Amino acid sequence: MNALDWSRGLTEMTLAFHILFATVGVGIPIFISIAEWIGIRKNDPHYSLMARRWTRGFVITVAVGVVTGTCIGLLLSLLWPEFMRFAGNVVSLPLFLETFAFFFEAIFLGIYLYTWNRFSNPYIHWLLTLPIVIGASASALFITMVNAFMNTPQGFTLEEGRLTNLDPIAAMFNPAMPSKVAHVLSSAYLTAAFLLAMIAAFAMLRGRDNEYNKKSIRLNMMTGLILAAATILIGDSSAVFLAEAQPEKLAAAEWHFETSSRAPLIIGGKLNPDTNEVTGAITIPWALSLLATHHPNGTVVGLNEFPKDEWPPLYVHYLFDAMVGIGFYLLAIPILFLFMTLAKRWNAYNRWMLAGIVAGGPFSLFAIELGWFYAEVGRQPWILRGYMRVSDAATTNPHVGITFWLFAALYLLLGIVCLLVLSRLFRNKPAELELEERRVIL
């Protein structure tokens, strides 16, 4: 492997690891805020305790998110120096703003953690969650802007290999930005809802059948329903956007080679790499045209319109299918849960339902990974679509291989210790015990 492959590998590994914690970091604060607010408003100690326990776990994940975020921030310059020299002129504003948002969040998280009993008016402490929510979501917004810019660069002109006539605002508000940001935020919130519901459902499966866990599941499934629907709708608008602005990415995901109207949607299947024929797939006629243009007769651009050296790897098809599949699973579970709650004939907290909710946690994280891998691998071979290839951006330093293994060891260590600490944190002190200490009768 050469420096380029190692650089790609290290970036993929770092982002894949970071994104798990970053997603949790963006999503969970909203739920902490909601739970604390309901707790104060209804004077319900269950919700207040929920906010406290979630915060405790949240801090651990934030710590790992912060340090891995620092890693990727600096690795950008260490691994892709040519890219940063070239595009640093344009992407530095959103990157800079992201650190401001992060700073803002860090300050208030520190305050929030140590002021649980400081204020006589409980709403003041709750108010502190707002800057955390805003800071977390704003940093996702700004960093996604950078990523969107790499997909649909604009706001500059290229003169003699340098970027001139910059328009930082146009670069930030590039065409890919709205759908990307919306999808990132809604899927992060959705993931948080499922992770939190997963914890409660797991506790119930282990026999801790009580009101605390039920309330947690109910809250997270209700919000999860809205968020899953929103995520799918936004995902749909991203597909429409791709068809228009980055047709090769969508075509690669759908193995759509010939430009045509009434294009079929292909699910699963196997591709013959020589003839580009698809076998064993479920084919839904017209569906791709419908997905891409919202019209069954719409024309969808095929991969053959592009030179072969600008094709993304075609395995992204599977990533796309799996992500969409999980998306619908995450919608089905809350619908089913709501249906069972409303139709009082069934117990909404039966074993199968709980198991389904528990599975939703890892599934949603997995979908985040799949979605990002699709988005990133799908714009190969470009680092800055249409302007700079990944192969021209990598470092020339020959030691990336060593660095890769050093970071691999770091992430392994952090991953294991983080899971250990989290599980010990909650196993040693289940919610029931804590409620008892607070003299709340279940």
Partner 1 sequence: MPLAEVGITVLWIFLYGYLIVASIDFGAGFYAYYGKVIGIESVIGPVISRYLSPVWEVTNVFLVFFFVGIVGFFPDTAYYFGTALLIPGSVALILLAVRGSFYAFANYGAKKSNLYLLAYGATGLLIPAALSTVFTISEGGFLSVSANTVTLLMEELFFSAYSWAVVLLAISSVLFISSTFLTYYADHAEDKRALEWLRSFALWGGVPTIISSLFVFIALRNHNLEHFDNMVRLWWMFGLSLVSFAIAIWLIWRRKNYGTAFVMVMLQFAFAFFGYGMSHLPYLLYPHLMLVNSVTNQTMGRALVVAFVAGLLLLIPSLVLLLRLFLFNAKYVKGETS
Site residues for partner 1, 122-141, by CB under 8 A, read 131
Residue 114 within binding range of partner 1, rule CB under 8 A: yes
Give the side-chain half-sphere CA count within 13 A for 369: 14
Return the number of other C-beta atoms located less than 10 Å from residue 272's C-beta. Answer: 9
Helices (H), 42-80: 45-79
Which CB, 156 or 337, lies closer to partner 1? 156
- Closest to partner 1 by CB, 79 or 290: 79
Candidate segments 25-33, 98-106, 230-238, 321-329, binder of partner 1 by CB under 8 A = 98-106
Q: Which of 205, 340, 377, 414 binds partner 1 (CB under 8 A)?
A: 414
Angle formed by the axes of helices 45-79 and 211-245, nearest 10°: 30
Please give the span between the terminal C-alpha atoms of the chain, in angstroms, as a whole number.
59
Determine the interface stretch with partner 1 among 96-104, 257-265, 319-327, 363-371 (rule: CB under 8 A). 96-104
| Residues 352, 329: Cα–Cα separation, whole Å | 14
Residue 68 binds partner 1 (CB under 8 A): yes
Q: What are phi and psi of 344, to 5 degrees?
A: -70, 0
Phi, psi values for residue 424, rounded to 5°: -70, -40
Residue 59 or 338: the one with the smaller Cβ distance to partner 1 is: 59
**The dihedral sign for the CA sequence 68, 102, 55, 46:** negative
Say how many residues touch partner 1, by CB under 8 A: 77
Residue 233 binds partner 1, judged by CB under 8 A:
no
**Contact region with partner 1 (CB under 8 A), list: 68-76, 214-222, 226-234, 289-297:** 68-76
Which one among 92, 261, 276, 347 touches partner 1, defined by CB under 8 A? Answer: 92
DSSP 210: S
Q: Which residues pair with 164 in a beta bridge?
A: 157
116 binds partner 1 (CB under 8 A): yes
Q: Take residue 71 and report the two structure tokens written for it.
A: 């890693």
Q: Does 335 bind partner 1 (CB under 8 A)?
A: no
How, if at all, do strands 388-389 and 382-384 pair? antiparallel
Identify each DSSP E strand in 121-161 by its residue range. Answer: 157-159
Contact between residue 198 and residue 140 where contact means Cβ atoms under 8 Å apart:
no
Q: Is 24 in the site for partner 1 (CB under 8 A)?
A: no
Residue in 5, 41, 43, 74 binding partner 1, rule: CB under 8 A: 74
Is 70 an interacting residue with respect to partner 1 (CB under 8 A)? yes
For residues 271 and 277, give the distance between their C-alpha atoms in angstroms, rounded to a whole number. Answer: 6
Binding to partner 1 (CB under 8 A) within 38-67 occurs at 56, 59-60, 62-64, 66-67
Interface with partner 1 in residues 151-190 (CB under 8 A): 163-164, 166-169
Stretch that binds partner 1, among 104-112, 198-206, 245-253, 363-371 (CB under 8 A): 104-112
Please report whether residue 417 would count as binding partner 1 according to CB under 8 A: yes
CA 317, CA 373: separation in Å to the nearest integer? 11
Q: How far is the CB of 101 from partner 1 (least distance, A)?
A: 9
Q: Considering only residues 284, 413, 433, 442, which one is a binding residue for partner 1 as defined by CB under 8 A?
A: 413
Tell me which of 71, 232, 316, 353 binds partner 1, using CB under 8 A: 71
- Cα–Cα distances in angstroms (integers) from residue 252 to residues 117, 119, 425, in the given order: 55, 56, 44
Q: Which is nearer to partner 1, 70 or 391 (CB)?
A: 70
Q: Which stretch binds partner 1 (CB under 8 A): 245-253, 273-281, 307-315, 423-431?
A: 423-431
120 binds partner 1 (CB under 8 A): no
Task: Determine the Cα–Cα distance for residues 150 and 135; give it in Å rounded to an integer.
Answer: 23
CA distances from 316 to 117, 179, 228, 251, 264 (A): 50, 19, 22, 10, 17
Token output for 404: 């890769």
Q: Does 339 bind partner 1 (CB under 8 A)?
A: no
Tell me, residue by residue from 391 to 410, as one string, x for binding to partner 1 by CB under 8 A and - for no binding.
----xxx-xx-xx--xx--x
Residue 359 binds partner 1 (CB under 8 A): no
